[in-house]
Amino acid sequence: MNQAVIVGISDMKIVNEPEKLISYALGSCVGICIIDKVAKISGMAHIMLPYNNSLDKENTFKYADTGITEMVRQMGYLGGRKNRMIAKIAGGAKMFDIKGSSSIGNIGERNILAAKETLQKLQIKLYAEDVGKNYGRTITLESTTGNLTIKSFGRNLIII
C-alpha cells in the first residue's frame, strides 16, 4: 500500500496515479482536491483564508483564490487541462461560536464561498463537497479512483 503524501496547512501537493494525498485536521480550513483522470494527476490544497488581499507571494496556498489558481497552473505544466478537471472540497467548519464576532465564527463559510467562486472563475466543475457544520475533518484523496474519503471524530466515514 502506498504511503500518502501529506498536505500541510497553507500547502499544496500534486501527485501521479496511484499516489494518495492526505490533509489532517481541517477545521475552518478547506481542502480543495482537483483531479484530471486523463493526465492521471491529482492535486490537493489546504487553504486557511478566502482571499489574498495583500497579494502575499510567500504564502500563495494560504488563500483560496491564489492557492487554487496556482494549483491549476502547476497541474497544467504536468499535462492537466482545465476542461477535464473536476474538484471536490471538504472542510470549512464553524469551529468557534464567539458571541459578537461573526467574522471569526464564519471564516469557514467564507473559505467555502471563496473556494467555490475561484473554481467557477477557473471553469472547473465542483463535483462533490462535504463542507460546513461544526466539526473537523481529515481527508484522503485516492488519485486512481478520485475518491475523497472524509474522517471525522465520532462520525461515519464519508466517501465522495
Instruction: Return the active site residues.
Output: 29
Q: What's the alpha-carbon Rg for the chain, to the nearest Å?
A: 15
The C-alpha cell of 37 is what? 483522470
Helix (H) / strand (E) element for 75: namely: helix 64-77
Q: Which residues sit opposite 43 in a β-bridge?
A: 14, 34
Tell me how far apart the alpha carbons of residues 4 and 144 are, in angstroms, rounded to a whole number: 13
Q: At 5, phi and psi to the nearest 5? A: -80, 125
What's the gap between Cα 7 and its chain centre?
10
